[in-house]
Amino acid sequence: DPSEVLNNKTHKDIVSEMRKEIIKTAPNRQVSDYHFLKVLGEGSFSTVYLAHEIQTNKNFAVKVMNKESIRREKKFINVLRERDVMASLTYAFGGHPFIVDLHCAFQDRTRLFFVIKAAPNGELYDLLKYMGKFDKDLALFYCTEIVEALSFIHKCRVIHRDLKPENILIGEDWHILISDFGSAKIVGDKEQEALETEEASQLRAQGQSRGSFVGTAQYISPEVLQSQCAGYEADYWAVGAILFQMLTGYAPFRASNEYHIMRRVMNLEYDFPEGFPQSAKDLIQKFLVIDPSKRLGSLDMGGFDQVKNHPYFEGIVWDEVKSRYAPSLL
Ligand code: ATP
């Protein structure tokens, strides 16, 4: 149980142990230990490949990042945090079937390599685009998995902060794999908090209000858009927006540019279409609440236990969610 691990150690200790653990897992790993099979996707300073690890005879997703591009974009902190968070979730907290595992990490002179569990069935975003929208059962299936994975992430005292259909990958077995911990917050990490406070004040001085979240306001909670300070509730806002999108095929807050999307988020300007299922509507309305302390999922509102007990999840046996059968969709 993550809370037992955290009773004995701070996150900082865990992260420094994990750094050693990653090196131990695959000592002297290098790029020639892999056969690169195909490109799975591209990020702004990364390419992700499906690659075969010769020693273990297993396939992995290998995220390759150019150090110079990371430096240019000033993203070193995010990249290292992504590695540390994935490593601690995997090694210190035992991993979770709905979250990408970090197998190992290594570097050469110009590049960083993260070897991650592969998600061969793409992104929830693509699946949703392909299917148009999900029926009630499929939306409930994926929403349950997202909430289950989030409860684990939160127990590990991590906030994802950038949950969206592009970051929810679909594994080989058609279960979700939450990825992209580059914006994650380690709760209680004073160094991270100090850095982010300074970054936010610099941005404010330049007349900008947002930091590293450009391009994803559709799922970002109002408190994060405003100040970057976020509690666990920020992730439940995203679940509300994603559930809305799964059932309609479009995000609740839409506009022609980021500025207008942000305004709609801040003013809670969205509408349910006719015939929207009632219990899903009620859950979304309880997640899309401007005041984080009044949002379902916040500690003040009873945390994860209250989310689980919402009528939308009636009939879900939470202890069995990890071992359920997933429908194959393509
Ligand atoms: P940005 O850096 O611009 O925010 P990103 O976070 O999506 O982009 P990456 O995490 O490098 O960048 O991922 C790039 C693409 O590779 C993603 O769009 C995703 O579809 C794919 N991808 C990432 N991780 C995996 C994985 N474990 N298995 C399969 N595909 C993956």
3-state secondary structure the chain: CHHHHHHHCCHHHHHHHHHHHHHHHCCCCCHHHEEEEEEEEECCCEEEEEEEECCCCEEEEEEEEEHHHHHHCCCHHHHHHHHHHHHHHHHHCCCCCCECCEEEEEECCCEEEEEECCCCCCEHHHHHHHHCCCCHHHHHHHHHHHHHHHHHHHHCCEECCCCCCCCEEECCCCCEEECCCCCCEECCCHHHHHHHHHHHHHHHHCCCCCCCCCCCHHHCCHHHHHHCCCCCHHHHHHHHHHHHHHHHCCCCCCCCCHHHHHHHHHCCCCCCCCCCCHHHHHHHHHHCCCCHHHCCCCHHHCHHHHHHCCHHHCCCCHHHHHHCCCCCCC
Best probe residue, ligand 1, of 36, 42, 48, 124 (max atoms within 8 Å of C-beta): 48
Average pLDDT over residues 141-169: 96
pLDDT category at 113 given cuts 50, 70, 90 is: very high
- pLDDT of 58 over the 50 cut: yes
Ligand 1 contacts CB of residue 116 (under 6 A) = yes
Lowest mean pLDDT among 4-13, 73-82, 284-293: 4-13
- pLDDT of 13 over the 70 cut: yes
Question: Distance, CA 188 to ligand 1 centroid (Å)?
Answer: 27
Closest ligand 1 atom to Cα of 118: 28
- pLDDT of 197 over the 50 cut: yes
Please say if 162 is a catalytic residue.
yes
ipTM reported for the complex, 2 dp = 0.97
Q: What digits encode the pLDDT tens for the residues 238-289?
A: 999 999 999 999 999 999 888 899 999 999 999 999 999 999 999 999 999 9
Q: What digits encode the pLDDT tens for the residues 281-311?
A: 999 999 999 999 999 999 889 899 999 999 9
Report the pLDDT value the prediction gives residue 209, as an integer from 0 to 100.
55
- pLDDT of 82 over the 60 cut: yes
